[in-house]
Structure 1
Amino acid sequence: MRKGFHEPAEKPRRFYKDVSVGEDAAGFAVLLDGRALRTPKGQPFRAPSREIAEQVAEEWAAQGETLELATMHATRLANTALESISQNREAVAGQVAQYAASDLVCYFAEGPEALVSRQVAAWGPVLERAQAEEGLSFVRAAGIVHREQPSETLEKVRALALELDDFALSGLAFGVALFGSAVLGIAVLRGWLGGEAAFELSRVDEAFQEEKWGVDAEAAERADKLRDEARMLERWFRGLDAA
């Protein structure tokens, strides 16, 4: 019987039993039944540190009878770093700067006062640290009307991104999209914040609304998945620190 048009494709089946990490002159490999993992385009998979290779290996080891590729975030980050970043560094750095141009943590509510106070307490310290340690001066806005950020700040964000190696830039691009904030992505990169802490700062408004109106089960499930991604990202950056 042929599959219906809307029927989803079958998930790939697990084709290996054992997962391990090996090392050679090119870096650290993930081994599936002793055979080195390759990227989707067929490149040899090599990580810059054992910690990153182990993070990827754990994702492969955790799979059941079928591969849940959507849950393998570190694998995806590594594949992006190996296959795409080197050819697109300028574009990726530009995307990071675009997030800085309308950064979530620069847009404070006009009210109620309880929410504004919570935003100031949550976002003020990380903005101040970005200024003190990276020289990133951001304009703070009240309400949703767009405010231009200093061109010098955006250029510094772009330059910061370009200074990173491909694995770190892959992680930063993932983080700024996850948080809706270049500032929070940089904070996790630099170790100012843990991944989960940065995620909670990115959803101050949502948490405030949940306290007032209750938690939607579907939204909570989605938040839990994103929180897991944020934890993964923190481990990713700390694994790169060990390289």
Structure 2
Amino acid sequence: MIRLLQIKRNDFDMHPSSSVVYCRGLMKGFGSGPTAVRALRGVDLDVRGGEILMIMGPSGCGKTTLLSVISTLLDPDSGTCVVLGRDLARMTPLERARFRCATVGFVFQRFNLLPGVSILDNVTVPLLIGGHSRNHAESRAVKILDELGLRDRTSASPNELSGGQQQRVAIARALVHNPKLIVCDEPTSALDQTTGQMVMETLHAQARQTDRAVIVVTHDARIMNYADRIVRMEDGAIISCNDAVELEMPS
């Protein structure tokens, strides 16, 4: 079978209360003077509940900056960003940190696992930071590692695992606290196709709950068929946002 993508235009017409993420006019720059970089140039974006939204575009176009603003890691210079009904600009830094800890899960290209501790301890980190007991954190971590096929590796350290296994640990850590928003920065580009598909199947299952969403920044065309919508960026601006409907055509 040959898979094709049918693209149709999507307008930005959602209200903050009906979006998991609602952004309007986001601006973000770095530096000053002649070397200043405008990373975001008036970005408007909605992320719906129950979807995987993919953000694509050339390196340096603002994808990771946009992801960082949405996930509260960076403050925009101006504009509005409402996540799960909370206006980020109206929150103190401490409130944003607590909000991020409770509601956002992160999956990174390079895994970002703690090298000196076990897989189990890596996965428990979000729950321990959130104030849960160690018993609860370990019980939840074991459960999700089991679901990802890593129950027998809980005592291993990251350097004893393959790249695909490390990425599954990173996903377990991102999901262990049951976040409403999962943000992924190039989660499959370092993986082979089989492992990349396993990663996307796990994220796809999470995104199918209507009160949450998954945002994936990627260059990896192999995973485009998992997207519900595809945003394309250039020079700090969104140039298109389209519904992606997978069609199967006879070969």
Tell whether the structures are fold-level matches, with TM greater than 0.5. Answer: no
Larger Rg: 1
Structure scoring higher RCO (CA < 8 A, sep ≥ 6) equals 2
Q: TM-score, normalised by structure 2?
A: 0.28
Q: TM-score, normalised by structure 1?
A: 0.28
Relative to total residues, which structure has the larger helix share, 1 or 2?
1
